[in-house]
Amino acid sequence: MNPVLTAPAEATFLGFPMAVFYFLLPVAGVALFVYIMARRMAPLVRAAPDPRLDHPGERFRLMLKYAVGQYRHPRYLLPGLLHIALFAGFMVLSLRSITLIMTGFVEGYTLPGLGGMTGEIYSVLKDVAATVVLIAAGLAMIRRGVFKPERYDVPAEAGIRDHSWEAVLVLALICTLVTCDMLFEGSLDAALRQAGEHPELVVPGTGRWLFGNLFATASTSTLQAWHLGSFFVHNVVFFFFLNFLPMGKHFHVITSLPNVFLMKLKKGVIKPVRWGVSDDQLDELDSFGVKKFEDFTWKHMLDFYSCVDCGRCADQCPAYAVKRPLAPRFISIKCRDYAFEHYPLRGDIHPSDEPLIGSILSEDEIWSCTTCGACEAECPVFIEYIDKIVDLRRGMVEDGMVPQSLQKPLRALEKRGNPWGKLEKKRLAWSTDKEFAAECQVKVLDKKTSAETLYFVDSITSYDDRMQSIAQCTARILTALGVDFGILGRAEKDSGNEVRRFGEEMLFQELKTQNTEAIAASGVRRIVTADPHAFNTLKNEYPDSLPPVQHISQFLAERVRSGELKFKALDADERIYTYHDPCYLGRHNDVYDDPRRVLDAIAGLRRVDMRESRDRSFCCGGGGLMLFYEPEEEQRMGVLRVEMARKAGASVIVTACPFCLVNIEDAIKVAGLEGKMEAIDLAELVARQMEV
Ligand code: SF4
Ligand code: SF4
């Protein structure tokens, strides 16, 4: 009981007992919240299936690390720290808000476990938390409202509403909530002091302490008004806040914890066309991919609700950087706006049969993605884009919406198993080249010829005149290290990594089956490849019965460690080297250190890392069929990448992927840097420098 001021539960307004109002307010507020949530879940129950409850222990651990621990937030330091302060404060203050709501109709209410000494400690903690939250929310409002960082921009051509005002409003509501608590407590502390009593322990410098001092000489009636007024405003604002959250981008406050818990656990793999339908039942499906909103899985819809609109994904997206018509966050915002419009809070829901492509999303937007994974590596709430984009492409491919420039390579893949449409027998041309064959013989595995290791070459390295050098260098290295290896030759088909990401699932399944049978028939015990795209799909998307797969950089790092691979020192080399992490080796498979270890084993090689390296590497722009795509863009991704290497002070860019090498070499020419910059594949550098 407050001995000096009337407590909220005892207060009356025009003779009406406020306890009744304070009891009805949460009843109505919670009922409204349940109603809104039920309406918001309506599209999810109509969505495609998506099993996400496997490995619950692992999911819980990841949720603690990434959602509760806010692990990814400090990747953007200042906003990350502000968010951590707000989130931590929010956790502490949620107990306080419940207490205040209950205090409205149960005088002197304390939550179970928060009485006595624990309650006093909690009281100090929540006073500090409230002050930290007030400062953090104030700074965040200034950042959003005054400095307006570029990554929150919504250009007019994006065709969406700018939701920034929601962020400012929510921050203002948070400030109101914590300030009300400070006023409520500060007025009571002042009244107690005036009555010669001792308030609870108050930490100097907190908002409560400040208001307690400001109110030191105020009259009792003034203190009473602040005490009851701030309580009233707190409780009304609290329920407004609660029901405002599911109305827009701050839905993430409710959905981000479950969204992180339900994250995709396996990297480097594209979701099946439809969960629950096995690869050999695909023929039975009426339709492929996502065409209308309800074709998305329920988890992908939850992603739309969970997007914070922080812009980190677009900030890291290479397509956005070169001004292609794609910003991943806009996909989420457009789809969330679509859900809110077609599944309104009042009246009938009206799902639309209108295809998403052409209404809210555009063909170019969806084809602009290189599936590099930068957006997913950055998103603090683990929103998935690649699976959604591939699902949309599946629908577009089925409806014949394939860009002109990609139609020819696709037909060639269907007919010849490679996008160039070259004859199967030409696949091993690199190994039969006279000069090369004179020094290195490569076995072609068949019924009569076997080997322990398969070198899986894949299409670009087999057919591109320049990239054939990677195949020859890989073969030289394997030979020099005494590896018993061979290739599949004509029996090898394109690995299908890009075909799948392009949305051609049936063709991918065909290529996978043919390669799997050829590999099984070869009897090899392990597979090595110098192409990260082949590495990714063989390792993650082919049957588990396949022998273990290594990228050549992993194989080389092992041999460096064992001392079998030694290098000649670089002769007085003045150049600085940098390593470009290929997306399908780094982000999709976490192979970052092995290629660097190999480079660092070469005496005299001076290496720097670009700022945009490892999981923040910048896509070269040519993954798979995108090599053939002619998108609308202001600049080539490769040119930007070369610029990044130059900024880091490097003049030699080492890659470990044929696609990267094609793009970077091309970009060096486009940028007019021939003679000043150079690109080389790791296998080429190792073959040149190894001691044999
Ligand atoms: S995968 Fe890469 S290109 Fe595609 S949206 Fe994400 S960041 Fe952009
Ligand atoms: S998808 Fe993730 S990174 Fe992108 S704006 Fe939304 S929350 Fe931020």
Ligand nearest to C-alpha 631: 1
Pocket probe for ligand 1: among 371, 583, 633, 636, the residue whose CB has the most ligand atoms within 8 Å is 371
How far apart (Å, rounded) are the C-alpha atoms in residues 609 and 557?
Answer: 18
How far apart (Å, rounded) are the C-alpha atoms in residues 525 and 464?
Answer: 28
Question: Given this chain, do its domains 418-560 and 567-689 carry the same CATH topology?
Answer: yes
For atom 6 of ligand 1, the residue with the nearest CA is: 375
The ligand 1 atom nearest the CA atom of 331: 5
The DSSP symbol for 5 reads: S
Ligand 2 neighbour 307 (Cβ under 6 A): yes
Instruction: Please tell me which of 113-117, 144-148, 500-504, 568-572 the model is most confident about, judged by mean pLDDT.
Output: 500-504
pLDDT range class, residue 159, cuts 50, 70, 90: confident
Numbers of helices and strands, H then E, in the chain = 29, 11
Centre of ligand 2 to C-alpha 373, Å, is 13
Q: What is the pLDDT of residue 3?
A: 63
Pocket probe for ligand 2: among 76, 263, 305, 312, the residue whose CB has the most ligand atoms within 8 Å is 312
Centre of ligand 1 to C-alpha 128, Å, is 40
For atom 2 of ligand 1, the residue with the nearest CA is: 372
Ligand 2 neighbour 260 (Cβ under 6 A): no
Pocket probe for ligand 2: among 87, 383, 384, 387, the residue whose CB has the most ligand atoms within 8 Å is 383
Pocket probe for ligand 2: among 307, 316, 335, 384, the residue whose CB has the most ligand atoms within 8 Å is 307
Q: What is the pLDDT of residue 572?
A: 75
How far apart (Å, rounded) are the C-alpha atoms in residues 478 and 485?
Answer: 7
How far apart (Å, rounded) are the C-alpha atoms in residues 369 and 373?
Answer: 9
Residues 6+ apart with CB under 8 A from 513: none
How far apart (Å, rounded) are the C-alpha atoms in residues 569 and 590?
Answer: 29
Task: Indicate the pTM of the whole model.
Answer: 0.95
Ligand 2 neighbour 127 (Cβ under 6 A): no
- Do residues 242 and 33 touch, judged by C-beta distance below 8 A? yes
- Do residues 449 and 660 touch, judged by C-beta distance below 8 A? no
Structure confidence by residue, pLDDT tens digits, 507-522: 999 999 999 999 999 9
Backbone angles phi, psi at 522, to 5 degrees: -75, -20
Centre of ligand 2 to C-alpha 243, Å, is 22
Centre of ligand 2 to C-alpha 307, Å, is 5
Q: Tell me the C-alpha to C-alpha distance, in Å, between residue 114 and each of 8, 109, 121, 125, 612.
A: 20, 10, 9, 12, 48
Structure confidence by residue, pLDDT tens digits, 210-245: 999 999 999 999 999 999 999 999 999 999 999 999
Structure confidence by residue, pLDDT tens digits, 343-358: 999 999 988 889 999 9
Ligand 2 neighbour 329 (Cβ under 6 A): yes
Centre of ligand 2 to C-alpha 583, Å, is 19
Residues 6+ apart with CB under 8 A from 126: 92, 93, 95, 96, 181
Pocket probe for ligand 2: among 335, 336, 375, 379, the residue whose CB has the most ligand atoms within 8 Å is 379
The ligand 1 atom nearest the CA atom of 368: 3
**Domain layout of the chain by residue ranges:** 8-40+72-148+164-247, 279-398, 418-560, 567-689
Structure confidence by residue, pLDDT tens digits, 362-398: 999 999 999 999 999 999 999 999 999 999 999 999 9
Centre of ligand 1 to C-alpha 262, Å, is 21
How far apart (Å, rounded) are the C-alpha atoms in residues 608 and 577?
Answer: 6
Per-residue pLDDT at 277 exceeds 90: yes
Element (H, E) at 576: strand 576-579
pLDDT range class, residue 1, cuts 50, 70, 90: very low
Per-residue pLDDT at 138 exceeds 80: yes
The ligand 1 atom nearest the CA atom of 317: 7
Q: What is the pLDDT of residue 156?
A: 81
Structure confidence by residue, pLDDT tens digits, 433-474: 999 999 999 999 998 899 999 999 999 999 999 999 999 999
Q: Which of 39-48, 90-99, 138-147, 332-341 has the lowest mean pLDDT?
A: 138-147
The ligand 2 atom nearest the CA atom of 311: 5
Q: What is the pLDDT of residue 625?
A: 73
Ligand 2 neighbour 310 (Cβ under 6 A): yes
Q: What is the pLDDT of residue 593?
A: 98
Ligand 2 neighbour 313 (Cβ under 6 A): yes
The ligand 2 atom nearest the CA atom of 309: 5
Centre of ligand 2 to C-alpha 390, Å, is 18
Ligand 2 neighbour 309 (Cβ under 6 A): yes
Q: What is the pLDDT of residue 624?
A: 56
Centre of ligand 2 to C-alpha 525, Å, is 42
Centre of ligand 2 to C-alpha 615, Å, is 16
CATH (one of 3.40.718.10, 3.40.50.1860, 3.60.15.10, 3.10.105.10) for 418-560: 3.40.50.1860
Centre of ligand 1 to C-alpha 374, Å, is 6
The ligand 1 atom nearest the CA atom of 386: 1
Q: What is the pLDDT of residue 382?
A: 98
- Do residues 394 and 356 touch, judged by C-beta distance below 8 A? no
Element (H, E) at 551: strand 549-551
Per-residue pLDDT at 278 exceeds 50: yes
3-state secondary structure of 526: strand
How far apart (Å, rounded) are the C-alpha atoms in residues 515 and 494?
Answer: 8
Per-residue pLDDT at 296 exceeds 50: yes
For atom 8 of ligand 1, the residue with the nearest CA is: 317
How far apart (Å, rounded) are the C-alpha atoms in residues 13 and 225?
Answer: 12
Q: What average pLDDT score do residues 640-644 get? A: 97
Centre of ligand 1 to C-alpha 185, Å, is 49
Ligand 1 interacting residues, C-beta cut-off 6 A: 316-319, 326, 328, 369-375, 385-386
Q: What average pLDDT score do residues 633-644 get? A: 95
How far apart (Å, rounded) are the C-alpha atoms in residues 98 and 102?
Answer: 6
Q: What average pLDDT score do residues 675-690 get? A: 97
Residues 6+ apart with CB under 8 A from 680: 652, 653, 654, 655, 661
CATH class of 567-689: alpha beta
Q: What average pLDDT score do residues 279-305 get? A: 95
Q: What burial class does residue 519 get, using C-beta atoms within 10 Å of its C-beta: 0-12 exposed, 13-18 middle, 19+ buried?
A: buried
Task: Beginning with the edge strand found earlier in the chain, give each strand of the sheet holding 576-579 in spatial order.
Answer: 606-608, 576-579, 652-655, 678-681
How far apart (Å, rounded) are the C-alpha atoms in residues 535 and 318?
Answer: 22
How far apart (Å, rounded) are the C-alpha atoms in residues 640 and 650?
Answer: 14
Ligand 2 neighbour 308 (Cβ under 6 A): yes
Centre of ligand 1 to C-alpha 351, Å, is 28
Q: What is the pLDDT of residue 147?
A: 85
Structure confidence by residue, pLDDT tens digits, 661-671: 999 999 999 99
Q: What average pLDDT score do residues 55-77 get? A: 97
The ligand 2 atom nearest the CA atom of 314: 4
Pocket probe for ligand 2: among 332, 336, 337, 615, the residue whose CB has the most ligand atoms within 8 Å is 332
Asked if the 279-398 domain carries CATH number 3.40.50, the reply is no
Q: What is the pLDDT of residue 392?
A: 98
Pairwise pLDDT comparison (108 vs 600), residue with the higher score: 600
For atom 3 of ligand 1, the residue with the nearest CA is: 369
Q: What average pLDDT score do residues 398-427 get? A: 90
Query: Which of 565, 577, 554 has the alpha carbon at shortest distance from 689?
Result: 565
Pocket probe for ligand 2: among 303, 310, 616, the residue whose CB has the most ligand atoms within 8 Å is 310
Ligand 2 neighbour 656 (Cβ under 6 A): no
Q: Quick one: what percent of the chain has pLDDT higher than 70?
A: 99
Pocket probe for ligand 1: among 312, 317, 618, the residue whose CB has the most ligand atoms within 8 Å is 317
Centre of ligand 2 to C-alpha 312, Å, is 6
Q: What is the pLDDT of residue 2?
A: 47
Q: Which two tokens stand for residue 435?
A: 């000069």
Q: What average pLDDT score do residues 156-165 get? A: 82
